[in-house]
Amino acid sequence: MKSRGVDLTQMAAFVAVAEAASFTAAAERMGVTKSALSQTVVSLERELGAQLLQRSTRKLALTETGAAFLGDCHKLLVQAEQVIEQARTRQAALSGTLRITSTLDYTLPVAHWIAEYRNRHPAMRVDYLPTDQQVDLIEGRFDIALRLGRLQDSSLHAVKLMDVELLLVASPGYLARFDAPRTPEDLRSHEWLALSVLPKPWTLPLLRNGGTLNVRMQGSISVSAAVALKELALADAGIAALPEPLARAELDLGRLVRLLPAYHLPLLHFHAVYPGNLAPPAKTRAFIDLAREQIRDRL
């Protein structure tokens, strides 16, 4: 006969009996009959293939297995309560204003997330500020920031949404004028299009087979936004390291060419950041969950 598995009701019954050290007292507390409660615990022991309680006419005691299982049950029941409460909170109608900021490079996906957020929560207002400035979330009264790369403010709580791969790219026009690099060392003789937020001198840590090769780059153009880097690369201005989501369409169309595909740059992390170290408000959590869902569906 196929086992139906252990359920939370059985666990709760066992915990009640163990804590009361009595089937009679536990049954009264739970509002069930003693015989029904006893049968529930017996069924649990049968499912586990282990005795949890030592029964005698005078007292009830936990076996060694029962004592260990009791601690695990406590943890699982608390987690179950938290999951249920979170589901209820998310289902409840949200209202008020959600203030969001992000880098300019992620304006398009964030706009799509906001549209879907409003579809799900029509009573919510959304204020969105795309900027490449590191705004102060508390001073600016922002509920959430979407940031790529290293986080500077340790007082903020961060939830990683995804890893972002950087790709070395150049346009066919640029490569027609200059030989395509065949080795990392060849990059030194090329025009490097840099993000101004990166420290100078510009150094590329190229990864391959568990090793790292640092290549110092030379360039005369630096910009603050990756979307501007893409436009410069398309204009035959040099070689750039672009986030894969930003470069993908141009690579598929042949307007950009990936360079040195056997080498990889360290992954960047895309985070949702919110003030404080406690659980976020329901409106913020709902947006973070939606962003994760949208990213997962895209991948």
> What is the pLDDT confidence band of residue 2, given thresholds at 50, 70 and 90?
very low
Measured distance CA(183)–CA(145) in Å, rounded: 38
Task: For residue 280, give both structure tokens.
Answer: 């976020």
Task: Please name each of the domains of the chain with its CATH number.
Answer: 8-91 (1.10.10.10), 97-155+272-298 (3.40.190.10), 166-266 (3.40.190.290)
Three-state secondary-structure class, residue 149: coil
Cβ-Cβ contacts under 8 Å for 186 (sequence gap 6 or more)? 179
- Of 50-54, 71-75, 102-106, 125-129, highest mean pLDDT: 125-129
pLDDT in tens, 246-280: 999 999 999 999 999 998 888 888 999 998 767 78
As a dihedral over the C-alpha atoms of residue 224, residue 228, residue 256, residue 186, rounded to 10 degrees, the angle is -40
If DSSP codes are grouped into helix, strand and coil, which group holds residue 59?
coil
* Contacts with 218 (C-beta within 8 Å, 6 or more apart), sequence order: 188, 190, 191, 192, 202
- Coarse DSSP helix, strand, coil percentages of the chain, rounded to the nearest 5 percent: 45, 25, 30
In this predicted structure, what is the pLDDT of residue 229? 93
Confidence of residue 92 (pLDDT cuts 50, 70, 90): low
Burial class (CB in 10 A: 0-12, 13-18, 19+), 168: buried
Residue with tokens 């508390």, as numbered in its chain: 138
Half-sphere exposure of 95 (CA within 13 A, CB side): 2
Q: Which residue has the tokens 């398309």?
A: 234
Other CB atoms within 10 A of residue 17 CB: 27
Beta pairing class for 218-223 and 257-258: unpaired
Cα torsion at 273, 274, 275, 278 (round to 10°)? -110
Q: How far is the C-alpha of 70 from the C-alpha of 14, rounded, in Å?
A: 8
C-alpha to C-alpha distance for 228 and 222, rounded to whole angstroms = 9
Mean pLDDT of the chain: 88
